[in-house]
Amino acid sequence: MNAIGVDVGGTKIAAGLVSSGGELLRSVRYPSSGPPEKLLENIARAVLEAGEGSEVGGVCLAVPGFILSKENKVIFSPNLRTIEGIPLKEELGRRTGLNVTVENDANAAAWGEFRFGTGRHVDHLVFLTLGTGVGGGVIIGGELLRGAQGAGGELGHVTIQATGPRCNCGNRGCLEAMASGTAIRRRALELAAERPDSALGQLAAERDLLGEDVTRLAREGDEAARRVLEEAGVWLGIGVAGFVNVFNPEMVAVGGGVAEAGDFILEPARREVQLRSMSPSRDLVEIRLASLGVRSGMLGAAALARHPSGECVLGG
Ligand SMILES: [Zn+2]
C-alpha cells in the first residue's frame, strides 16, 4: 500500500504519494501562508489530491520545529507559527479520512536518507541538514532517536563555541550559529569587508551576497570564498566529532543547500573528525553527502506514516 509524506515548510506544503519502494508517484504543492484554518484546508487538499485514485494507508507531516510526537502537535515552529498547538491528527483526520501523524522535518529527512537514500545500507546513521538553520536526525540500530518527548536529535543546537554568535534558539555558538547557510553568509560579509579586492569583496560591493555565491566563487578559485567554507567546515567537523564519539555511527550524511559546497566544506570537516574523535569510531565513520536532496523530508515522512493500528504503512 502507498503512503503520503507531506513536507510542511514556512512557505509551501508539498505532499507526495510514495510507494513501498520509495518511489515518488505523484506530488502536489500548496502555499502554507494564511491563518490556521487556511493552512489545514491546504494541507488536506494537498493530501487528497496526492492520493486521488490510490489506496493510501496513512499520512505523516514533516514540520519544522519542536514536536510532541505522541500528541501529534507542534509546540514551537518559528517559521510557521500558525501550525503551533493545532491537534493535527484530529483536524486533518476529519478532513481527509486518513490516519495522520507528525514528525520533526529533520528527523523525517534523516529517515528518508536511511530508508531510500545514501544511508540505506547502514543501521547507524547521523544526518545533518545545513540550510538556513541546521537540522539533525539520529538513527541507531535502525530506530529513529526521539528522546523522552520526541524533541531529541536536535544536533544543530549543540554548543561548539561558548562565546560564539547568538543562535536563533537563544543560546550562543550552536552548530547552527557557526555552520548554517545564515552563518556562512554572515562570515562571507565580514571577509568581504576585510578583503575588498577578493572576488567575494567585489561582488559584495555590487549587490547582496547569497549563500550560493560563496560556493560558486570558491569553485572559481577565490581564496576568500574558500576560506569562508573552510571555516564552516571546521565548525561542522567539531560538531560531527562529538556526534561520532556519542553515537558511533557508520555514516554521517550531510544534506541541505549548504551541502552543494561539497568537499569545500566536507574535507575540513573530515579532518577535524580525524583529529578530534576517538578510535575506533573515527576509523569506521564515513562522512558523505546525502543523496535525496529536497525530497528527503517528503519520502522520509511517507516511510514514517502509520496505519491506525500503529504499523508503518511502507513497512520497515
Ligand atoms: Zn541554537
pLDDT, tens digit (0-9, with 9 covering 90-100), for 188-205: 999 999 999 999 999 999
Same domain, 198 and 77: no
Shared domain for 133 and 242, answered yes or no, is yes
pLDDT computed for residue 34 by the predictor: 93
Domain shared by 127 and 87, yes or no: no
Say if 36 falls within a structural domain.
Answer: yes
Is the per-residue pLDDT at 220 higher than 80?
yes
CA of 57 to the centre of ligand 1 (A): 36
**247 and 197 assigned to the same domain:** yes
Identify the DSSP state of 294: G
99 CA distance to ligand 1 middle (Å): 33
Cα 166 to averaged position of ligand 1 atoms, centre (Å)? 8
Identify the pLDDT of residue 68.
84
Ligand 1 centroid – CA 209 distance (Å): 23
Whether residue 49 lies inside any domain: the answer is yes
Find the 133 Cα to ligand 1 centroid distance in Å. 9
What's the mean pLDDT in 231-256? 98
**Greatest distance between any 2 Cα atoms in the chain:** 63
66 CA distance to ligand 1 centroid (A)?
13
Instruction: List the CATH number of the domain containing 131.
Output: 3.30.420.40
- The structural domain count of the chain equals 2
pLDDT at residue 148 greater than cutoff 90: no
More confident residue, 150 or 278: 278
Kindly provide the b/e burial profile for residues 70-80, where b requires at least 16 CB atoms within 10 angstroms of the residue's own CB: eebbbeebeeb
Domain-embedded: residue 313? no
- State whether 18 and 95 are in the same domain: yes
Contact call for residues 118 and 253 (beta carbons, < 8 A) = yes
SS3 112: helix
User: What's the gap in Å between 119 CA and the centre of ligand 1?
Assistant: 26
Both 247 and 280 in one domain: the answer is yes
Whether 287 and 206 share a structural domain? yes
**151 and 242, same domain (yes or no):** yes
Q: How far apart are CA 27 and CA 50, in angstroms?
A: 6
The rounded mean pLDDT for the chain is 95
How far, in Å, is the centroid of ligand 1 from the Cα of 182? 12
Report whether pLDDT(121) > 80: yes
Q: Ligand 1 mean position to 154 CA, how many Å?
A: 9
Is residue 152, in this structure, part of any structural domain at all?
yes
| Separation of CA 134 and ligand 1 centre (Å) | 9
In this prediction, residue 315 carries a pLDDT of: 84
**pLDDT for 253 beyond 90:** yes
Per the CB < 8 A criterion, the answer to whether 301 and 62 are in contact is yes
Q: Is residue 87 part of a domain?
A: yes
Q: Is the pLDDT of residue 316 over 80?
A: no
Task: Report the separation in Å between the CA atom of 71 and the middle of ligand 1, taken as the mean of its atom positions.
Answer: 24
Tell whether 61 and 188 lie within a shared domain.
no
Distance 136 CA to ligand 1 centre (A): 12
Q: Is the pLDDT of residue 166 over 90?
A: yes
Pair 166, 270 in one domain: yes
- Position 173 in a domain: yes
Do 123 and 38 share a domain, yes or no? Answer: no
- C-beta separation of 232 from 265 below 8 A: yes
- Is residue 264 assigned to a domain? yes
Position 309 in a domain: no
Instruction: Round to whole Å and give the CA distance between 62 and 111.
Output: 11
Q: What residues make up the domain containing 138?
A: 118-291
Band (pLDDT 50/70/90 cuts) for residue 69 is: confident
Residues 103 and 128 in one domain: no
Q: How far is the CA of 47 from the centre of ligand 1 (A)?
A: 32
Q: How confident is the model over 175-185, as pLDDT tens digits?
A: 999 999 999 99
| C-alpha of residue 177 to centroid of ligand 1, in Å | 7
